[in-house]
Amino acid sequence: MIYHHRTLLALVTCAFCLGAILPNSANAQMGGGGTGAGAYALAGDERNLKFAAIPVPFYSDVMGFGLGVVGMAYYKMDRTDDELPPSSTGVVGMYTENKTWVGMMFQKFHFKQDIWRATAAFGTGSIKYQFNPGAVGPGLPDIFLDYTTVTNFAFAKGERRVAPNLYAGLELIGWSALVSVDPDITEFPEESYRAAGLSGNWDLRDHIMYPREGTNVAVRYDVYAEALGSARDFNKLNLTLAGYTTLGDSTRVLAGRILTDAAFGDVPFSGQTILSGNRNLRGYSNGRYRGDQLLTLETEYRWNVYGKWGLAGFAGVGFVGDDWSNYSLDEALPAAGLGVRYRMIDAYRINARIDYGWGKHDQAIYFSIGEAY
């Protein structure tokens, strides 16, 4: 039997993902949310507050060239706790050739021996995408249409460790969206959506920023309801399984991630999930493929080549549609790419990265601080 190349890549990627994930459940017998003893220790005279900032030039076939900036501040809420991960504050801004612009701020806290974790973010933007109706369902035209989403958004989540390595919490989400499909095909009325949800995280990683061993399972389930001020009633589920293992020594790490993002009910256009290098699969322009339900598999080989410098190679596959039952290997969206890493903050294993990914009739370049997962 001769497989289509997309089918073959899907099978190979799945095998590598499982290879990275499955062995680690036995490796991470650690407390404090999966952090090893002294994983975040600072030297006696080392400064607690650390900064990292980079300009972010990038390119995608949809947005063209763009320029942004990412600025991060890292600091421990208890400097003397060697097992407490650093909290972080960040800002992101960008502007692109097709006049997309986004600005946002985000905050993450780790409190009290990492018993408590909290995250918040808010922002605004006007984002110009493309999408392929043919990728959403059978019978729809296989063409790319331009569209613009003007949005404001806010998010807050709090979690508590309820058992060794296990966190549970609550979250609140809100956003507004005004969507127009160009050129002047249609415009959806502006609507606002509000949700309350539950979150869980089984964190067996040996390090939050740059894991070398361990597994992380994260789940979120959000309910959008008119009673909360949402224009529509629908639910969203996000489930992520990531695993890490060293290959020979600590300079070489194999990482893998399986991610599903699904919406059910009266799902608005802006509530659909999108194939996006910033969220789930590098190699595709944000929003070009979208649907109510998405599944991605990705694996990455990370190699600290010399000193602060490293290289990465990654490959993955995605499936997008309105129903999981309609996924097929022949409709898989393959992706692969290469990246360069530079260690900006040794104490917390924080890297700046640039990745070039290519997919089916698409490509994109990504600059960021921190690993993709």
Integer angstrom CA distances of residue 238 from 164, 197, 217, 262, 291: 23, 11, 11, 6, 14
User: And the tokens for 39?
Assistant: 């994983």
pLDDT exceeding 90 applies to what percent of the chain? Answer: 61
In which band, very low, low, confident or very high, does the pLDDT at 296 lie, cut at 50, 70 and 90?
Answer: very high
DSSP string covering 178-218: EEEETTTTEEPPPEEEEEEEEEEEEE--S-SSS-SSEEEEE
Length of the chain, please? 373
Phi and psi at residue 272, in whole multiples of 5°? Answer: -70, 160
What is the predicted pLDDT for the residue at 2?
37
Following CA atoms 127, 130, 134, 139 in sequence, which dihedral angle do they give, to the nearest 10 degrees?
80
What is the predicted pLDDT for the residue at 26?
39
Q: What is the DSSP letter of 144?
A: -
| Other Cβ atoms within 10 Å of 144 Cβ, number | 19
Burial class (CB within 10 angstroms; exposed 0-12, middle 13-18, buried 19+) of 93: middle
| Other Cβ atoms within 10 Å of 314 Cβ, number | 25
Integer angstrom CA distances of residue 297 from 255, 315, 356: 11, 9, 17
Convert 240-279 to b/e letters by CB count within 10 Å (16 or more is b).
bbbbbbeeeeeebbbbbbbbbbbbeeebbebbbbbbbbeb
Residue 18 has pLDDT above 60, yes or no: no
Domains of the chain in sequence order: 5-369 (2.40.160.50)
Closest CA to 91 of 119, 65, 67, 121: 121
> At 167, is the secondary structure helix, strand, or coil?
strand
User: How far apart (Å, rounded) are the C-alpha atoms in residues 32 and 115?
Assistant: 7
Query: Within 213-273, where are the H helices?
Result: none
Long-range Cβ contacts of 3-7 (<8 Å, 24+ apart): 3/329, 4/329, 4/330, 5/334, 6/317, 6/329, 6/330, 6/332, 6/333, 6/334, 6/360, 7/329, 7/330, 7/332
User: How far apart (Å, rounded) are the C-alpha atoms in residues 300 and 162?
Assistant: 31
Phi and psi at residue 369, in whole multiples of 5°? Answer: -110, 125
At 115-135, the pLDDT tens digits run 999 999 999 999 888 776 665
User: And the tokens for 308?
Assistant: 């602060």
CB neighbours of 298 closer than 8 A, spacing ≥ 6? 13, 17, 256, 257, 259, 280, 281, 282, 314, 315, 316, 317, 335, 372, 373
At 29-61, the pLDDT tens digits run 333 344 444 789 998 889 999 999 988 887 877
At 215-251, the pLDDT tens digits run 999 999 999 999 999 999 999 999 999 999 999 899 9
Greater confidence (318 vs 56) lies with 318
Q: For residues 67 and 57, is the Cβ–Cβ distance under 8 A?
A: yes
Closest CA to 256 of 29, 5, 12: 12
Look-up of token digits 């990654």: 314
User: How far apart (Å, rounded) are the C-alpha atoms in residues 34 and 213?
Assistant: 10
Residue 139 has pLDDT above 70, yes or no: no
Greater confidence (274 vs 14) lies with 274
Which pTM was predicted? 0.84
